[in-house]
């Protein structure tokens, strides 16, 4: 059995410097990532179906900024905490919990029942997004590598020690560990 | 269109049963379905009243049928069911397993606890011998219209739930016993203290459901008064009224006057409210809305 | 002993097969199946590939078409049966008598299972469905004790399948309009109980409140998340009592009862959860496969530690223990 997603947090030593970074390069990189990811996995939009035009707020609680996903326009933007627009639905939790769900290491409902993830707003839209992402079997590091090839090599080099340091699954386990 | 009285789903003592059915013998209803619908453990307490009730009702010109249980699981219950068709009255099937005991071609009625949602199922039941079918209360009018059309073609009488707390669910578990911290097998018949079911409200005080042993019903009383004209045009044969412990004779009389166009739906609803100040009404299922809503408005908070 | 496992998406189906499912059940993305939630279920093309994937690995695929066709729209349900057969499904799981009659007449070679939504709770009901529609297997409703299941199996000729893990209906399945009463969407007609579009979470004076169709189902103090407002697991007031009138926020875990269920003559063990993720499916399937493998080999089955995955993270053996009633 895996460790609970909620127990893992991005160490302060990493998250503090992020607070003083300018947001526009982050948003630009995220936008590229979302565009590439949705192009590579068209079934995600099909499953999100009538909720494509919803705005999803992804509040990764140990990051200094909040993400907003706009599936229909393949938009993913970062906002400073306090400056984020309200969306139709909001999912909040640690980076570890989000990654565990995305990578199929943890079950979304289990994370929700245990309080590691919280949801607000349009529950249907959250379910549609959760189910669509679960079906897509994403590997975030592979998606980053293909969306941002320039970042790929340094990213891979940086991720290995980060994964060891934080216990975060930045890649989908090759042999899924259940 | 005429009126059918549903089996009483609640647990009343023998005296109450006796006086209820002797009064009903004079009520302006065409037929009455008798018997224990909800819990076989209750039957010994009042089954002695059934023969006299049948006599009284038939003497009053009513057609009488006997209901099956809504959920048959125990050996004793299967045995009772097996004996039902031999009693010389039509059987109303409220659990499809009753059909195992009714020979093909022998006529029977179908009650609202059987899932008749579509044309094929209705036709199939008619081929099997159904002569009268009361549709599940959750059907919207657009479904009723289609099924009424089929029913007319097949020569079978179709009924629609007209009045009373809606039967919403049936369970293996007894909620009355659970509320008294007892198991079903040692319930000590506590459901007899609530002649119209025991209220279940939300934590915010919204009136919501009632429990009645293993059955759960709506706390609001369905009232299909607004739909009567529509149902008549569709060719629906009868409205079904469910017994309640207070004022039932007057309720039957008012629905009979409504069918005879002697009073309008508003007047019927006003009369209900005047006689039963606590009674909440609902008719959402017919409109394809939440069943709890009344005339298109959500249940009050 | 056959393990029948849930799949809400093609990814979950592959996860179930890879984790050792003998059999996977799934449904189409419309009103025809009882887990009609947003983002879930299969297109026709996805079912075709899923059947190929499962068959290549020796697993079967069952297609649940287990809601009740609505008047005027039977074509949707009939085409679902035809498409399941065309995809090569090993059986369809049906509940409606009219649809069963249609399938028996027009798809005689397609194996028919009786869904739990038909709530066939005694031998008479089962024998009736078997003789009237040629049903080969019955999924038993969750209102029966183990002894009652054994007694049923002595009186019938068809296979029985029972739930061993996952969400628990406390009402007789297919005969419950509670959710429809609160929301207007019917489990029987629309395939969704406590539908998410009628769910509202809010914060009120330090409480987390979850409502369904405007009715308060849970109210918890700050800090605790209000659970999903599944109506029959809600907290209500009845006279002087406040609590879970129908059922606590628990789910079924009958893993410890599997040997007794085998002795009771059960053919297949069913895991609920088409609305859960592929991670959940894989974990539960792997755990239960270890149990069936041990039993097949004549060994004592391992005790499972699955409570963390349960709704409310607490488990019950439900009606299998007679005291539950």
Task: For residue B19, count other CB atoms closer than 10 A to its CB.
Answer: 12
pLDDT-derived band at A3, boundaries 50, 70, 90: very low
pLDDT-derived band at A28, boundaries 50, 70, 90: confident
Count of domains in chain A?
1
The distance of C12 to chain A (nearest Cα, Å) reads 7
Task: For residue C106, count other CB atoms closer than 10 A to its CB.
Answer: 12
Average pLDDT over residues C61-75: 98
B26 is in an annotated binding site: no
Query: Which are the contacts of C206, defined by CB distance < 8 A and separation ≥ 6?
Result: C221, C222
Q: Is the pLDDT of residue B205 over 50?
A: yes
The answer to whether residue A130 sits within a structural domain is yes
Decide: A87 and A120 in contact? Cβ < 8 Å: no
Q: Is the pLDDT of residue C189 over 90?
A: yes
Please give the distance of CA C295 from its chain centroid, rounded to a whole number.
Answer: 24
Q: Mind spelling out the 3-state secondary structure of C15-41? A: HHHHCCCCEEEECECCCCCCCCCCCCC
Q: Are strands A56-60 and A65-70 parallel, antiparallel or unpaired?
A: antiparallel
Count of domains in chain B?
1
pTM of the full structure: 0.93
Minimal Cα distance from C130: which residue of B? B100
| Chain A residues lying within 8 Å of C19, measured CB to CB | 178
Q: Do chains A and B touch (3 or more CB pairs under 8 A)?
A: no
Question: What pLDDT does B118 receive?
Answer: 98
d(CA C183, CA B13): 36
Average pLDDT over residues B254-279: 97
Q: Is the pLDDT of residue A176 over 50?
A: no
Average pLDDT over residues B189-206: 96
Superfamily of domain C2-168+250-324: Aldolase class I (3.20.20.70)
Give the Å distances, CA to CA, from A101 to A106, C194, C280: 5, 23, 10
| Phi-psi group of A150: left, alpha or beta (phi > 0 → left; psi -120 to 50 → alpha; rest → beta) | alpha
The answer to whether residue B28 sits within a structural domain is yes
Minimal Cα distance from C7: which residue of A? A135
The distance of A150 to chain C (nearest Cα, Å) reads 30
Task: For residue A153, count other CB atoms closer than 10 A to its CB.
Answer: 10
pLDDT-derived band at C143, boundaries 50, 70, 90: confident
Give the residue from B82, B99, B132, B137 showing the smallest Cα distance to B237: B132
- Could you tell me if C10 lies within 8 Å of chain A, comparing CB atoms? yes
Q: Does C238 contact B200 at a Cβ distance shorter than 8 Å?
A: yes
- Domain containing residue B53: 2-166+220-287
Tokens of B30: 């065409």
Question: What pLDDT does B30 receive?
Answer: 98
Decide: C41 and C20 in contact? Cβ < 8 Å: no
pLDDT-derived band at C226, boundaries 50, 70, 90: confident
Q: Does B81 contact C239 at a Cβ distance shorter than 8 Å?
A: no
Q: Is the pLDDT of residue B192 over 60?
A: yes
The answer to whether residue A173 sits within a structural domain is no
Average pLDDT over residues A67-81: 91
Average pLDDT over residues C243-268: 92
Average pLDDT over residues C151-161: 97
Q: Is the pLDDT of residue A86 over 70?
A: yes
Of C275, C276, C279, the CB nearest to A178: C279
Question: What pLDDT does A148 receive?
Answer: 79
Minimal Cα distance from C172: which residue of B? B171
Average pLDDT over residues A40-50: 94
Task: Express each pLDDT in B82-104 by its tens digit.
Answer: 999 999 999 999 999 999 999 98
Q: pLDDT averaged over chain A?
A: 81
Average pLDDT over residues C182-188: 97
| Phi-psi group of A103: left, alpha or beta (phi > 0 → left; psi -120 to 50 → alpha; rest → beta) | alpha
Per mean pLDDT, which of A25-29, A163-167, C181-185 is the most reliable?
C181-185
Question: Exposed e or buried b for every residue in B46-69, given b needs 16+ CB within 10 A?
Answer: beebbeebbebbeebebbbbbbbb
Q: For residue B28, what is the domain's CATH number?
A: 3.20.20.70
The answer to whether residue A175 sits within a structural domain is no
Q: Is the pLDDT of residue A177 over 60?
A: no
- Could you tell me if C225 lies within 8 Å of chain A, comparing CB atoms? yes
Q: Is the pLDDT of residue A23 over 90?
A: no
d(CA A151, CA A14): 18
- Domain containing residue A79: 5-166
Average pLDDT over residues A128-133: 95
d(CA C26, CA C12): 10
Task: Express each pLDDT in B98-129 by its tens digit.
Answer: 999 999 889 999 999 999 999 999 999 999 99
The answer to whether residue A176 sits within a structural domain is no
Q: Does B146 contact C71 at a Cβ distance shorter than 8 Å?
A: yes
Task: Express each pLDDT in B268-298 by its tens digit.
Answer: 999 999 999 999 999 999 999 999 999 999 8
Task: Express each pLDDT in C274-309 by its tens digit.
Answer: 999 999 999 999 999 999 999 999 998 888 767 666
pLDDT-derived band at C48, boundaries 50, 70, 90: very high
Least confident of B148-162, B275-289, C121-135, C248-262: C248-262
Question: What pLDDT does A13 receive?
Answer: 58
Each domain of chain C, given as residue ranges in start order, spans 2-168+250-324, 178-243
Q: Is the pLDDT of residue C182 over 80?
A: yes
Q: Is the pLDDT of residue C39 over 60?
A: yes
d(CA B80, CA B57): 23
Report which of residues C256 and A2 the model is more confident about. C256
SS3 B297: strand
Q: For residue A83, what is the domain's CATH number?
A: 3.30.1050.10
Report which of residues C241 and A12 the model is more confident about. C241
Q: Is the pLDDT of residue A138 over 50?
A: yes
Task: Express each pLDDT in B32-48 by its tens digit.
Answer: 999 999 999 999 999 99
d(CA C219, CA C208): 6
Share of chain A above pLDDT 70, in %: 73
Share of chain C above pLDDT 90, in %: 79
pLDDT-derived band at A158, boundaries 50, 70, 90: low
C217 membership: H or E segment, kind and range? strand C215-221
DSSP structure string for C295-315? HHTTPPPPPP--GGGSGGG-E
Average pLDDT over residues A56-67: 90
Q: Is the pLDDT of residue C324 over 80?
A: no
Question: What pLDDT does A105 receive?
Answer: 85
- Could you tell me if C288 lies within 8 Å of chain A, comparing CB atoms? no
pLDDT-derived band at A157, boundaries 50, 70, 90: low
> C193, C204, C279, C290: which to substitute to probe chain A, counting the most A Cβ within 10 Å?
C279
The answer to whether residue B187 sits within a structural domain is no
Q: Is the pLDDT of residue B206 over 60?
A: yes
Radius of gyration of chain B (CA): 18
d(CA A123, CA A116): 17
């Amino acid at each position: 059995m895996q460790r609970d997603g909620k127990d893992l947090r991005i160490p302060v030593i990493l998250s503090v410097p992020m607070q003083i970074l300018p947001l526009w390069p982050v948003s630009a990189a995220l936008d590229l990532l979302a565009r590439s990811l949705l192009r590579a996995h068209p079934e995600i939009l099909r499953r999100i179906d009538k909720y494509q035009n919803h705005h999803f707020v992804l509040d990764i609680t140990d990051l200094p900024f909040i993400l907003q996903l706009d599936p229909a326009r393949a938009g993913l933007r970062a906002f400073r905490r306090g400056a984020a627009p309200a969306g139709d639905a909001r999912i909040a939790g640690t980076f570890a919990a989000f990654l565990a769900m995305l990578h199929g290491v943890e079950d979304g409902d289990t994370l929700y029942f245990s309080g590691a993830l919280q949801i607000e707003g349009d529950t249907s839209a959250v379910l549609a997004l959760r189910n669509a992402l679960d079906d897509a079997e994403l590997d975030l590091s592979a998606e980053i590598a293909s969306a941002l090839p320039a970042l790929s090599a340094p990213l891979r080099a940086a991720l290995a020690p980060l994964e060891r340091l934080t216990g975060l699954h930045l890649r989908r386990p090759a042999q899924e560990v259940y | 269109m005429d009126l059918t009285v549903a089996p009483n789903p609640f647990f009343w003592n023998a005296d109450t049963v006796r006086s209820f059915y002797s009064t009903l013998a004079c009520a302006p209803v065409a037929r009455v379905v008798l018997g224990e619908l909800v819990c076989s453990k209750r039957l010994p307490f009042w089954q002695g009243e059934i023969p006299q009730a049948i006599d009284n009702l038939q003497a009053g010109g009513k057609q009488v049928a006997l209901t099956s249980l809504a959920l048959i699981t125990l050996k004793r219950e299967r045995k009772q069911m097996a004996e039902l068709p031999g009693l010389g009255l039509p059987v109303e099937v409220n659990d499809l397993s009753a059909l195992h005991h009714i020979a093909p071609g022998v006529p029977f009625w179908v009650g609202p606890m059987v899932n008749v949602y579509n044309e094929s199922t209705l036709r199939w039941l008619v081929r099997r011998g159904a002569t009268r079918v009361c549709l599940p209360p959750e059907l919207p009018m657009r479904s009723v219209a289609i099924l009424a059309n089929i029913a007319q073609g097949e020569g079978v009488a179709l009924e629609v739930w007209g009045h009373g707390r809606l039967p919403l669910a049936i369970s293996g578990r007894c909620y009355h016993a659970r509320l008294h911290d007892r198991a079903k097998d040692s319930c000590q018949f506590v459901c007899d203290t609530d002649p119209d079911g025991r209220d279940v409200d939300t934590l915010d005080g919204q009136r919501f459901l009632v429990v009645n042993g293993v059955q759960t019903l709506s706390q609001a009383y369905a009232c299909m008064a607004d739909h009567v004209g529509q149902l008549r045009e569709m060719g629906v044969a009868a409205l079904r009224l469910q017994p309640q412990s207070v004022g039932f004779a007057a309720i039957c009389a008012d629905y009979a006057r409504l069918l005879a166009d002697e009073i309008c739906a508003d007047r019927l609803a006003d009369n209900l409210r005047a006689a039963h100040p606590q009674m909440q009404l609902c008719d959402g299922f017919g409109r394809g809305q939440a069943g709890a809503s009344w005339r298109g408005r959500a249940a009050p908070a | 002993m056959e393990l029948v496992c849930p799949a809400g998406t093609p990814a979950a189906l592959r996860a179930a097969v890879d984790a050792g499912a003998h059999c996977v059940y799934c449904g189409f993305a419309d009103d025809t199946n009882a887990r009609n939630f947003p983002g879930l279920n299969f297109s026709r093309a996805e079912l075709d590939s899923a059947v190929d994937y499962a068959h290549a690995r020796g697993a079967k695929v069952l297609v649940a078409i287990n809601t009740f066709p609505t008047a005027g729209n039977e074509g949707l349900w009939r085409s679902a049966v035809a498409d399941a057969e065309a995809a090569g499904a090993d059986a369809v799981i049906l509940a409606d008598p009219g649809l069963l009659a249609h399938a028996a007449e027009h798809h005689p070679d397609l194996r028919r299972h009786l869904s739990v939504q038909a709530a066939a709770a005694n031998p008479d009901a089962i024998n009736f469905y078997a003789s009237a529609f040629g049903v080969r297997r019955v999924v038993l409703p969750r209102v029966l004790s183990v002894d009652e299941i054994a007694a049923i199996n002595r009186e019938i000729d068809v296979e029985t399948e029972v739930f061993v893990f996952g969400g628990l209906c406390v009402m007789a399945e297919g005969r419950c309009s509670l959710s429809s009463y609160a929301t207007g969407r019917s489990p029987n007609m629309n395939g969704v109980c406590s539908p998410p579009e009628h769910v509202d979470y809010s914060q009120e004076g330090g409480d987390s409140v979850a409502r369904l169709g405007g009715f308060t189902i849970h109210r918890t103090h700050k800090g605790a998340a209000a659970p999903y407002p599944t109506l029959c697991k809600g907290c209500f007031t009845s006279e002087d009592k406040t609590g879970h009138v129908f059922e606590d926020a628990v789910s079924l875990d009958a893993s410890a009862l599997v040997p007794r269920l085998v002795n009771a003559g059960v053919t297949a063990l069913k895991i609920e959860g088409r609305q859960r993720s592929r991670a959940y499916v894989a974990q539960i399937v792997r755990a239960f496969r270890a149990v069936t493998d041990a039993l097949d080999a004549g060994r004592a089955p391992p005790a499972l530690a699955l409570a963390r995955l349960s709704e409310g993270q607490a488990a019950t053996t439900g009606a299998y223990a007679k005291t539950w009633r």
